[in-house]
Structure 1
Amino acid sequence: MEDIYVNVDPLKQTESVTRVTQLSLSSGIRQNSSKRSIKRWHFYSFVFLGLLSVSLLTGLIVNCILNHGRETLVDIRQNLTECLETSNLQISSLTEERNQLKANVTKMSEDIARLHALLPDVCPTGWEKFRRSCYLLSAQSDSWDKGREDCKRRGADLVVIESPEEKDFLARITNKYSWIGLNDSEQEGIWKWVNGAPLNFTFWEKIQPDNWKGEEDCVHIADHFKWNDLSCSSSNLWICEGKAVKFP
């Protein structure tokens, strides 16, 4: 037995031990490397799964928000549409009410006008009424111009006689000399009433008008209610004429 071990070369024995040791180390290194690789793979897998879970959760949250947002927008649009329809209905109703009120006001105005037309025409106290006019004989005498000024202050003017019937009515009011609203002051011989109307009806005295002394431009009622031209500065009574008004 001793011979067997003695014959073994020490150098070779050392090399064998070294080789075995290297193999053992290499195997250990490979085993450690494999373990580290497995651990690294587990780590990466865990990270990947974590990121995937986060991504899926985020996707779910975003999808939920978007769906909720779409539902909210739809609700808002529906509410606005309903409000608009309600407003249109209210506007239409108000328009109908306004038109009805306008129709009622128009009818009331027409009714008032018809009732007003049925009311009698009246004259102020102290005035005489003939047809639709009122007449007043002055209480004092003055010139033609002063007489006209007085009539205007009363909202009237010197009388305009347009028919024999009106002349006969005035004859019952006065039998005194009284100014009427007739003159040819603008152009000699062209007689006009104070309201601008032409002279279509006359009731002159004989040989009148004569423009005596070239200064008779105004007309007054003389004897028997005949007309005579006279100087406008002469003093006479006057007759005012105004429109009768509806009883208030």
Structure 2
Amino acid sequence: MTKERDRLQSRYGSLSAERDKLQKMLNYGFQQCLRYFVRNSMSWNKARQECRSKGADLVIINSREEQEYLSQMVTGEAWIGLSDSAEEGKWMWVDNTNMTTGFWWQGEPNDYEQKEDCALIGSKFAKDKITTWADYPCEMELRAICEMKAND
């Protein structure tokens, strides 16, 4: 009985922590969006077209909490809705807003060989699940994270 009680108390603690995490995400506006992964790998532009064909767009990350959450969800690498294609060094979201807070991996963005204009989020870069962005060539084929805003 004691082992079972301890197991249940431990499980209760885990569930309580998960509930608190989900509540925190709701408080930061996560309830206003549906996010999903594009299963097939494709270029940044094709991924964006795929998202838009479903009434969504590539994900925009506006807070540390959202970054932490998405970093935990990504296995490998996935496109996000950020690029400096229009003007080198000026990172813009797909909704045409400036990037104000970045979560770049050390040494990124680096525009390696002047060919990297699209941003990804990647678990292979992360030690802390915060600094997980890198710039890559937009033609590279990766999965993507789409985001659909909830109707008000």
TM-score normalised over the length of structure 1: 0.46
Paired residue type of 1:237: R
Select the residue among 211, 219, 222 that pairs with 2:111.
211
How many angstroms does 1:194 deviate by?
A: 0.5
Tell me which of 152, 176, 197 is aligned to 2:52: 152
Distance 1:185 1:232 in 2: 9
Counterpart amino acid of residue 68 in structure 2: D
Q: Does the 8 A contact of 1:130 with 1:169 survive in 2?
A: no
- Determine what percentage of the aligned residue pairs are the same residue: 36
User: Which position in structure 1 is the counterpart of 2:67?
Assistant: 167
Q: For 1:169 and 1:131, how far apart are their aligned partners in 2?
A: 13
Higher helix share: 1
**1:195 maps to which residue?**
95
Three-state SS of the structure 2 residue aligned to 1:162 is: coil
Aligned alpha-carbon RMSD (Å): 1.5
> What TM-score comes out, normalization by structure 2 length?
0.73
Query: The residue matched to 1:237 in structure 2 has which SS?
Result: strand
Mapping of residues 29-48 of structure 1, within 5 Å: none
Q: State how many pairs are aligned.
A: 118
- Which structure's residues are more often strand, by fraction? 2
Asked which structure has the greater RCO (Cα within 8 Å, sep 6+), the reply is 2
Structural mapping, 1:87-236, within 5 Å:
130-222=30-122, 223=124, 224=126, 225=129, 226-236=132-142
The one-letter amino acid paired with 1:155 is G
Secondary structure of the equivalent of 2:51? helix
Secondary structure (helix, strand or coil) at the match of 1:140 reads strand
Equivalent-residue separation in structure 2 for 1:190 and 1:171 (angstroms): 23
- State the shift of 1:176 in Å: 1.9
Which amino acid counterpart does residue 118 of structure 2 have in structure 1?
C
Aligned to 2:149: 243
**In the alignment, what sits opposite 1:99?**
none
Could you list the runs of 4 or more consecutive aligned residues of structure 1 that deviate by over 6 angstroms after TM superposition? none
8 Å contact kept, 2:74–2:121: no
